[in-house]
Structure 1
Amino acid sequence: MADQPTLRALLRRRDLELRLVSQPTALPVGALERPLRWVHSSDLADPTPFLSDDLALLTTGTQFDAAVDGNGTAGTNGASDIDAYVARLADRGVLGLGFGTEVHRSGIPDALIDACALHGIPLFEVPYRTPFIAIARAHSEAIAAQAYARRSWALDAQRGLALAALRPRGLEAIITELSRRLGVWAGMFDAAGALLHSPSRDAVDRELLDTLGERVGDVLARGLEAGQSLTIDDRTFLLSTIGRGGHLRGVLALEIDTLDAEARAVVTSVIAMSGLALEQNEQSARSRRRLHSQLLRSLLSDDPSIARRVLGSLPVAPVVVAVSGDAPAAALIDWWERQRTEHGVASFLAESDDGVTICVAAEDEALIDELAARFGIRIGVSEPDAYAAFSRSHAQALAALRQRGASGVARYADAVGSSILSALATDEARLVAESHLAPLRAHDIGTGSALEQTLRVWLEHDARAEQAATALGVHRHTLRSRIAQAGALLDIDLASFPARAELWALLETARD
């Protein structure tokens, strides 16, 4: 690749015989390495209105005639004028000043050398035998050579990426090739914001990678095609979404500040190829999900033989079966797939009308808790059992899932250990209970009484008036009056045990 068109590259040209006058150690860091856009010549006292940023200015010094005597010495006022001249150049963004000697005067005025040192502008001598036009032409040729080298690099990179796409693991090969060509860290994140592949994963520590994953998740959550830059711990990443708006497939992350036109074209082609690869992967995943849904039906017949023949293996028994009705199926399945590939966790997942069913070995049950926490979902989990009892385990998971609660894991063993009423508290049962208690609750709301609370405390004390009245802080006759009033509203004879048992079931089932 050709040298970058910088001032240092220009000074290295032996045919120009340019000589750096400024002391390199006195110049700002990188002063000679900044990209040089153009070379211009002028002897105006103030050429800045006609200059652009990031150029080198060439002059013969005729504008200094009034400031410098015949010996090249400047008086106080002359030195001040020269300093103001250089200051204007520095403010305009001039990267270097070339002084043509032996054209109008011999040597370079000391005041100019001092002013350039003060303002951090590299000063170089242009000998008489080197015309200014030769310097401008040399720099123009360098720009052309650099542009040709970048175009050649881009074409070669495109060929390398095309060959990488033909390899068995095409998507990973593309990302690896892109990282090598750009010489930067690269990572491909899936639609759930998890890192799918990075050829140099260890180059980014785990904490920073987690933060990057969260930022990627935010970009995907917005669902818009975007390219943006973000900085984490003084490290800058460019994020480019893959897929169309509203249907994003993932994000390509590169640890780089900016991309020139050629590199941007290469990255764009990678995004296109990655989008196609991820789309194909998604189609393949949909086919696998349909197959697994069919295999779930055979497992629910308590016969694992068909699933074993199709899949080759199943998690080792005893297994637990888990069901989640509100899980994001694709993201959840992707997460379990990573557990399989990265940690060797055997599992079976399938979608059905009940939600996503997960089957894992009992020793891997803790992963279900991790899954529920990661996605903020509720999961019902069965007791460990053999495949011959798969349908019963599935029913247990559904029963546990129906128990009241927020997100998290609900285990059938806990539901059984709590109460038969809790197990029977379905949405339908709660509607029936609320309908039966409606007259009582309407009376409490309308009169400000607490008949429902009185009934609950009374039953909690085994229908003993003395103890219940003490707990409520009322007289036992007041308690008995409230009980009679509540029985009349509910049309229940609370003197019998069956009526009391039914009332307790109603109160427990309709509990808020």
Structure 2
Amino acid sequence: MRSSKPADPAATTADPRPEGVTIVLLQDVLDAPELGIRLLHGDAAARTLPLHRACTTDMPDPTRYVSAGSLVFTGLVWRRAPEDSEAFVAHLARAGVAAVAAGEALFGEVPADVVDACARHGLPLLAVPDDVPFSSVIEFLTRRWSGARMDRLQTGLARQRRLLAAFADGHALDELLARVCREFDVPAWLFTATGTLVAGRDTIGEPVIDACCAIALTAPRLPAETADGHTVLPVGAALRDRTTAWFLVLGAGAARSEDCVDAFTELATVAALERVRREDRLRAVWDTA
């Protein structure tokens, strides 16, 4: 009898991905019948965790070989005694991995102490059948990630065409910014490098503006985040002369959504056109004067 009891297979949830948002979830791995992977520990929320990459390791201290948001595959070779499980899982939890996928080939099952350690650290645990190589699961994920990237590209191109068409039809930049803010429920503002507000309808404090301007002028590369989580995006070729550039600032936490950042990056392209148009208009006034 197996000592590791799988989670309730009926505890599934509706797909949490908004329409048009392309990410790979832990549920996608569980839903693949050809893999036969089971959830040994994890609640309904665990099934909706996004997976950003896959890592394979059997080092007792896996910290150097894993990264945050990854699904970690392990054959349990590191386990020489039950107490080894606590140390291994604790390392993974501190690294911020999304979940662990343990192979059943070595012990014929995932030992109960591994399940218990994952439960203590709140780390979702999957069981990979002994006849399913890790390479097959990673190939499955790679195909899903490739498809998600292609979907994101197509979605981004379609959104950018809509924004450019609306801009060409005379819609104001402030209106287009408000439209994207409503779509992702994220506040955003368009600033000059000196902190002058160009577009944006939400309230923002002076200290936040100062912090965003400092990041915009000094960060080695953009996008960049402030200490309180605001994201600063460049508008056009902002790195050439930052002192006269425009910057798009997203509300705290927005950088955690790649689709959200993509959408505002596309809006930044439209904002760059508006900036050029204003400069041309000002130049024409100077020439006339």
TM-score bracket, normalised by the shorter chain, equals 0.5 to 0.7
Change over 3 Å in CA distance of 1:49–1:277 after alignment to 2: same
The one-letter amino acid paired with 1:7 is L
Q: In 1, Cα distance between the equivalents of 2:242 and 2:108?
A: 70
Matched, 1:13 2:32: yes
Please tell me whether the aligned partners of residues 164 and 173 of structure 1 are also in contact (alpha carbons under 8 angstroms): no
1:340-387: CA deviation from partner (whole Å, max 9, x where unpaired): xxxxxxxxxxxxxxxxxxxxxxxxxxxxxxxxxxxxxxxxxxxxxxxx
The aligned residue for residue 156 of structure 1 is 158
Q: In 2, Cα distance between the equivalents of 1:176 and 1:264?
A: 11
The one-letter amino acid paired with 1:33 is L
Structure 2 gap ranges (5+) = 1-19
Deviation at 1:219, TM superposition (A): 8.5
The aligned residue for residue 236 of structure 1 is 230
1:117-154: CA deviation from partner (whole Å, max 9, x where unpaired): 22332212223454433211111111111111121122
Q: In 2, Cα distance between the equivalents of 1:212 and 1:31?
A: 35
Please tell me whether the aligned partners of residues 49 and 98 of structure 2 are also in contact (alpha carbons under 8 angstroms): no
Q: 1:35 aligns with which of 43, 51, 56?
A: 51
The one-letter amino acid paired with 2:142 is S
Q: 2:73 aligns with which of 58, 62, 75?
A: 58
Q: In 1, Cα distance between the equivalents of 2:42 and 2:213?
A: 50
Q: In 1, Cα distance between the equivalents of 2:63 and 2:216?
A: 47
The aligned residue for residue 87 of structure 1 is 90
Deviation at 1:163, TM superposition (A): 0.8
Deviation at 1:212, TM superposition (A): 5.1
Please tell me whether the aligned partners of residues 165 and 173 of structure 1 are also in contact (alpha carbons under 8 angstroms): no
For the aligned residue pairs, the C-alpha RMSD in angstroms reads 4.2
The aligned residue for residue 297 of structure 1 is none
Q: In 1, Cα distance between the equivalents of 2:23 and 2:263?
A: 15
1:189-220: CA deviation from partner (whole Å, max 9, x where unpaired): 4687453433xx2xx34xx3565566678889
The one-letter amino acid paired with 2:37 is L
Matched, 1:132 2:134: yes
Change over 3 Å in CA distance of 1:196–1:99 after alignment to 2: closer
The one-letter amino acid paired with 2:60 is D
Q: 1:110 aligns with which of 85, 109, 112?
A: 112
TM-score relative to the length of structure 1 = 0.42
The aligned residue for residue 250 of structure 2 is 254
Change over 3 Å in CA distance of 1:238–1:2 after alignment to 2: closer
Relative CO higher for 1 or 2, CA cutoff 8 Å, sep ≥ 6? 2
Change over 3 Å in CA distance of 1:132–1:221 after alignment to 2: closer
Please tell me whether the aligned partners of residues 161 and 177 of structure 1 are also in contact (alpha carbons under 8 angstroms): no
When the two structures are aligned, how many residues end up with a matched partner?
261
Change over 3 Å in CA distance of 1:253–1:277 after alignment to 2: farther
The SS at the match of 1:16 is: coil
Please tell me whether the aligned partners of residues 6 and 35 of structure 1 are also in contact (alpha carbons under 8 angstroms): yes
Q: In 1, Cα distance between the equivalents of 2:60 and 2:222?
A: 44
Alignment of 1:60-459 (within 5 A): 60-61=75-76, 64=79, 67=80, 78-101=81-104, 103-128=105-130, 130-176=132-178, 178-179=180-181, 183-189=185-191, 193-198=195-200, 201=201, 204-205=202-203, 208-209=204-205, 229-230=225-226, 236-238=230-232, 240=234, 245=241, 248=244, 250-255=246-251, 257-258=254-255, 260=258, 262-263=262-263, 265-283=265-283, 286=286, 290=289
In our comparison, the structure showing a higher alpha carbon Rg is 1
Q: In 2, Cα distance between the equivalents of 1:2 and 1:91?
A: 28
Structure 1 range deviating more: 118-127 or 213-222: 213-222
Q: In 2, Cα distance between the equivalents of 1:227 and 1:110?
A: 44
Please tell me whether the aligned partners of residues 189 and 197 of structure 1 are also in contact (alpha carbons under 8 angstroms): yes
Q: In 1, Cα distance between the equivalents of 2:51 and 2:197?
A: 35
1:422-463: CA deviation from partner (whole Å, max 9, x where unpaired): xxxxxxxxxxxxxxxxxxxxxxxxxxxxxxxxxxxxxxxxxx
The one-letter amino acid paired with 1:58 is F
Change over 3 Å in CA distance of 1:34–1:195 after alignment to 2: same
The one-letter amino acid paired with 1:107 is E
Structure 1 gap ranges (5+) = 68-77, 291-512
Between Structure 1 and Structure 2, the one with more helix by share is 1
Please tell me whether the aligned partners of residues 193 and 220 of structure 1 are also in contact (alpha carbons under 8 angstroms): no
The percent of aligned pairs where both chains have the same amino acid is 20
Please tell me whether the aligned partners of residues 11 and 20 of structure 1 are also in contact (alpha carbons under 8 angstroms): yes
